[in-house]
Structure 1
Amino acid sequence: MTSASHHDNIDVNPASSVHSRASYDADREPEEGRLRVTLDQATDDGHDHDPEKPALHAPPKLSTLRSVGLIATCTTAMILNSSNNTAIAIALPTIGDDLGIPEYRLQWVISAYSLGSGCLLLFFGRLADLYGRKKAFLSGIFVLGVFGLGCGFTHDEITLDVLRGFQGLGAAACIPASLGILAHSFPPSRLRSIAFATFAAGAPVGAAIGSAIGGVLTQLTDKTWRSTFWFLTGISALTFVGGALSFDKDQPSSETDRRIDWLGAFLVTSGLVLLVFALSDGSVAPNEWNTPYIIATLILGPLLLLAYVAWEHFLERQVDAGSTSRWTPPPVMRVSLWTRAHGKLAVTFVIAMLEYSSFMSFTFWIQLYYQDYEHLNPVLTMVRILPMFVTGVLCNIIVALFVGHVPLVYLVAFGTTLTGVANILFAVINPASPYWAFGFPAAIVSVFGADFVFASGTLFVAKVCLPHEQSVGGAMFQTMTQLGAAFGLAITTIVYDSELKKASLADGVVVNVDGTNAPRRAQLVAYKDAFWAAFALGIFGTLLSLVFLRGAGIVGHRKGMDGRSTTSGETVRDEKAQRDMEEKDEVES
């Protein structure tokens, strides 16, 4: 696989990253000029990006069996990641009764996992790129399984939350490694599109499978919720074996300087931990969002993240200027990564955050609606959201077929719109109507956004990231989805709580801490407003895609005219020719 296999032109801000043998785009006005670094040029970071030359450690051609095994293993890891949230979420009422956890603290069984996974994705992605993606994947799956096994034997709230946090660390290691492995193993071709589409389908499919597994095992087994953890541990063991057998041996990184930016890792991890903690705990803190430690973490978290960006920008300038020292290691993530493709990559990150804010809020509130408002048991709740699994599989097929033919903007806009439609259906739901009127169509269309955005988004990341940045780029994308989930739940919970209190007061009731004495009418009003908030988050992503992703082009790949997959060099040349034609049309228009 050539080191150009992930790139066409990479647009970076000249103030943030200076590469040798680069030239300004002469077709643009001076004030709009950006430093363009093409793949047939070598940069000064020690990496050769010539599309006509093989990479130093090109992957061997995989057999059909190995390819299927590799894709299946990476996809199973994504399914495990999603299932470890939804399978436990549907069992939360049972866990609370068994361990004596108050309802307002139950969310920490889920939030602890998100804290562990979402806050260390970038750091573990960097480690995977430097020291081996197979090692990172296997280590992550091992940690995920071992601590999941321990969760099944816990008898108190604190131990369960701590073990769930360690489970999240395992997910943080294996998910970025999976993206890097897929990008490295499959050069630009239709097979790469299929691989990424299948991997992306693991998120919504895992969410649906997790709900099904959690509902059935919690209600029908003697060990109830504990059986769910043990079952997922078994799947983790099978995934570990699959990775050990199907993944190629790790090759040395092409980077000559493999030092770790420990300060950057500390700043980004601490900032994300504080921010996600505040978003997760703000609605259940003693004084809710006015609680002093919530205010402090909401201020300190973003400040640490700003310090991280400033530090990484400084390190990037030092590296590009060739003035590195023992105090200036390579950055965890180049800040200029966000400027790639004229900033379209940054917009893609933001859209991913908004989409997962909407989608994860939808999956959270429909489960509460069915169980707490409709008073359905976990199995009946699972049956009502099961169509999401079927749609997830179909979305995988659709993305694989069309991602090489349809521009990114249409895939993203179409998907985010359908997730918004799912939220609207519950925002206007009539509880007296049959399931087929509102619940069924909502379950069908809700998955499109998550699947389309993740599949096309990760393909776009793989396209504009350098070979040695694949895991970091994937980690950044995944971090934005995790932040989106926390942000969406925080916003919709604020809306729900506010409307529940307001509607209850209108009926002459002051709700208690758990909201269990709220009138039924007030509950319905609060649920509907939460879905309206989730709709607003998703549709904002649609608007961003329509405005800023125009011209992003097609991110997938098709077979060549002779029936074989295009090679890396052919892909780069074809994309360059297409881009030149597009720019010529822009000038003429």
Structure 2
Amino acid sequence: MSDASLAHPESVTKVEDSLSTPDVETTMAIRGRTTLGAILLTMTVTLAMMVNSFNITSVSLAVPTIGRDLSITEASLVWLVAAYSLSSGCLLILFGRVADLYGRKKTFLAGTLSLIAFTIGCSFAQDGLTLAILRGFQGIGAAATIPASLGIIAHSFPPSHARSVAFATFAAGAPLGSALGTILGGVITQLASGETWRADFWLSAGLTFLCLLGGMFSIDKDKPSEEKDRRIDWPGAFLVTASLVLISFVLNQGEVAPNRWATPYIIGCLVTGVVLMVIFLVWQHYLEKALAKPTGSASPLTPPPIMKLSLWKKSNGMLAALMCISFLNFASFLAWFYWIQLYYQDFLLLTPILTMVRMLPMFVTGVTCNVNHGAHSPSNALVTGTTVTSIACLLFAVIVPSAPYWAFGFPAAICSVFGADFVFAGGTMFVAKTVEPHEQSLAGALFQTMAQLGQALGVTITTIVFNQVAATHAKVGDTTPPLKAYQSAQWTAFGFAILATILGVLCLRGAGIAGDQTESDIPPPKTESDHSTGTIP
């Protein structure tokens, strides 16, 4: 049955807006929402994504200023960035499950309130340890808002062009937030005097407050979960969160620890993290099998698993392939981004502002890439995106320092974001149409977690490559990292992107259109109650 056959055209008020296509109007009629209401909702969740990116990039470029003002050691500066990413990335799965069970709007609003409180707290920090701790708590709010936002979009927009527009706009929030954070961070790092880095946190708190207001008035009231057993698998939540924290910590600290990867606490954390992840997977398998039995749901010792392992088998394994592509693509993209900043500032000795200016084209392209690509199949979009991103890595892998910016830097900046934008927007749309209504936020959180882990691994692996090449060069008496070290790191990032491309070609054929849902894509709902959660048979 098509969306059009379920619509009531007479209930739709026509407005003069670029989004007022028949398909969008049909979607709004199904949801009982005006076009203006849909725009406000989309702007609210997009702003939440912008704030998340802003909180990372603005602090990244303001780190030198913060370090001087608070007398933070070089080794401790990394935690000003890592603490936020660590908490926000490792708690996504837990909050995704909470949002699905107890309400996405409630989770979104609670997350924004928490984010406002701890962001303001960061602005008053007087020492590095306090700021690092507050940054960790700040990331908890983002861990709640992002999966809730994904579930809100999937619930509010049935499969249609309107859903494609909403997801694409939401994805555009990432480059917009990164651009805003990079511009302000670059300007503050170079030109500001005194402790004006605190203004970054005040601006972030203000933007988050707008998210709170938008969420209160534009997001629909939560409906009760359709799941009969609404218990949370707290043992599973602890296992997966502790495992991700330890593994992420190792990936962030392995190269800067006293004895690097041979440091005892690095080895211990890595082993413990891997063991906890194995135990988590075994526990989830046990719970899923136990609940499949007729009397399984009655046992107090077998709550519903926080993440069913069968989730990875959705769409004949395409969902698992998509998660792996996200992992590899973001490993490539963030490694590229990390090393070009160091190349410009440490190798070419450019100022932060000149570095920021050279990266501006990627943010413009990032917004442009999110327009209308939801009309293509995930295979085409993802393969195209990862291939173009690999070109950005390749350009810096063969870069000639004496060449003008327009020969290597500019085209690389243009190409770099295709993979991130196509994978994120197309991937989230595919996830939304693949999973059940009560799994939307959890599946979105899992997708985000894979991207976060990919980012950490990409920087870690390329750092190992860089250090090895630099160490080899240092043996001949030159202590300055050579051009070959930067190029080798980019060759490694290129390899990640190519692996993602190959995986997309092999595993995503016949995936359908990202923004639509057809009978060939998704099995029809089993109960009539699915109509109330946005699944159109």
- The answer to whether TM tops 0.5 is yes
Bigger fraction of residues in helix: 2
Instruction: Check conservation: 1:218, 1:224, Cα contact below 8 A.
Output: no
The answer as to 2:334 corresponding to 1:334 is: no
Name the CA shift for 1:135/1:367 in 2 (closer, same or farther; >3 Å): same
Match of 2:109 among 133, 138, 160: 138
Deviations 1:85-117 (A, max 9, x none): 111111222222222333343222111111101
- 2 CA distance for matches of 1:70 and 1:459? 17
- 2 CA distance for matches of 1:61 and 1:368? 51
Partner of 1:542: 501
Partner of 1:70: 41
Q: Secondary structure at the match of 1:476?
A: helix
For 2:105, give the aligned amino acid: K
- 2 CA distance for matches of 1:486 and 1:526? 19
Cα deviation for residue 205 of structure 1 reads 2.8
Cα deviation for residue 576 of structure 1 reads 7.3
The answer as to 2:197 corresponding to 1:197 is: no
- 1 CA distance for matches of 2:366 and 2:327? 19
Match of 2:181 among 180, 201, 210: 210
Cα deviation for residue 214 of structure 1 reads 1.4
Instruction: Check conservation: 2:462, 2:492, Cα contact below 8 A.
Output: yes
What stretches of structure 2 of length at least 5 have no aligned partner? 4-28, 524-537
TM-score, normalised on structure 1?
0.81
Instruction: Check conservation: 1:221, 1:227, Cα contact below 8 A.
Output: no
For 1:69, give the aligned amino acid: L
Cα deviation for residue 144 of structure 1 reads 1.8
Partner of 1:172: 143
- 1 CA distance for matches of 2:240 and 2:506? 30
Name the CA shift for 1:576/1:225 in 2 (closer, same or farther; >3 Å): closer
Q: Secondary structure at the match of 2:303?
A: coil
Partner of 2:470: 500
- 2 CA distance for matches of 1:523 and 1:93? 23
Cα deviation for residue 418 of structure 1 reads 1.1
Output aligned runs, 1:84-95, within 5 Å. 84-95=55-66
Name the CA shift for 1:100/1:498 in 2 (closer, same or farther; >3 Å): farther
Instruction: Check conservation: 1:204, 1:450, Cα contact below 8 A.
Output: no
Partner of 2:13: none
Name the CA shift for 1:328/1:59 in 2 (closer, same or farther; >3 Å): farther
More deviation, 109-118/178-187: 109-118
- 1 CA distance for matches of 2:136 and 2:347? 30
Instruction: Check conservation: 1:91, 1:378, Cα contact below 8 A.
Output: no
Partner of 1:363: 337
The answer as to 2:525 corresponding to 1:551 is: no
Match of 1:407 among 374, 377, 381: 377
Deviations 1:116-172 (A, max 9, x none): 011110000000011110111111122222212222222222111111111111111
Partner of 1:126: 97
The answer as to 2:254 corresponding to 1:282 is: yes
For 2:349, give the aligned amino acid: H
Partner of 2:526: none
- Between the aligned residues of both structures, percent identity stands at 54
Instruction: Check conservation: 1:59, 1:185, Cα contact below 8 A.
Output: no
Q: Secondary structure at the match of 2:159?
A: coil
The answer as to 2:436 corresponding to 1:466 is: yes
Match of 1:107 among 78, 85, 108: 78
For 2:130, give the aligned amino acid: T
For 2:366, give the aligned amino acid: G
Cα deviation for residue 573 of structure 1 reads 4.1
The answer as to 2:326 corresponding to 1:352 is: yes
Cα deviation for residue 63 of structure 1 reads 0.7
Instruction: Check conservation: 1:384, 1:440, Cα contact below 8 A.
Output: yes
Partner of 2:407: 437
Q: Secondary structure at the match of 1:416?
A: helix
The answer as to 2:446 corresponding to 1:476 is: yes
Partner of 1:417: 387
Partner of 2:213: 241
Partner of 1:564: none
Partner of 1:161: 132
Name the CA shift for 1:281/1:75 in 2 (closer, same or farther; >3 Å): same
Instruction: Check conservation: 2:434, 2:522, Cα contact below 8 A.
Output: no
Cα deviation for residue 575 of structure 1 reads 5.0
Name the CA shift for 1:448/1:398 in 2 (closer, same or farther; >3 Å): farther
Instruction: Check conservation: 1:205, 1:388, Cα contact below 8 A.
Output: no
Instruction: Check conservation: 2:396, 2:409, Cα contact below 8 A.
Output: yes
Cα deviation for residue 574 of structure 1 reads 6.8
Partner of 2:245: 273
TM-score, normalised on structure 2?
0.89
More deviation, 232-241/281-290: 232-241
Deviations 1:505-533 (A, max 9, x none): 22x14xxxxxxxx32xx342221111111
For 1:332, give the aligned amino acid: I
Partner of 1:532: 491
Partner of 2:267: 295
Q: Secondary structure at the match of 1:252?
A: coil
Which of structure 1's runs of 4+ aligned residues deviate more than 6 A? Answer: none
Partner of 2:197: 225
- 1 CA distance for matches of 2:254 and 2:521? 47
What stretches of structure 1 of length at least 5 have no aligned partner? 4-57, 510-517, 558-570, 578-589
The answer as to 2:32 corresponding to 1:61 is: yes
More deviation, 128-137/369-378: 369-378
Deviations 1:439-484 (A, max 9, x none): 1111111110000001111111111110000000000000001101
- 2 CA distance for matches of 1:479 and 1:501? 33
Partner of 2:396: 426
Partner of 2:7: none
For 2:385, give the aligned amino acid: G
Q: Secondary structure at the match of 2:53?
A: helix
Instruction: Check conservation: 1:218, 1:227, Cα contact below 8 A.
Output: no
Name the CA shift for 1:346/1:531 in 2 (closer, same or farther; >3 Å): same
For 2:261, give the aligned amino acid: W
Name the CA shift for 1:576/1:416 in 2 (closer, same or farther; >3 Å): closer
Name the CA shift for 1:367/1:576 in 2 (closer, same or farther; >3 Å): closer
For 1:118, give the aligned amino acid: G
RMSD over aligned Cα atoms: 1.9
Q: Secondary structure at the match of 2:370?
A: helix
How many pairs were matched up?
495
Cα deviation for residue 416 of structure 1 reads 0.5
Name the CA shift for 1:572/1:427 in 2 (closer, same or farther; >3 Å): closer
Cα deviation for residue 218 of structure 1 reads 3.5
Q: Secondary structure at the match of 1:62?
A: coil
- 1 CA distance for matches of 2:35 and 2:131? 41
Match of 1:181 among 152, 162, 171: 152
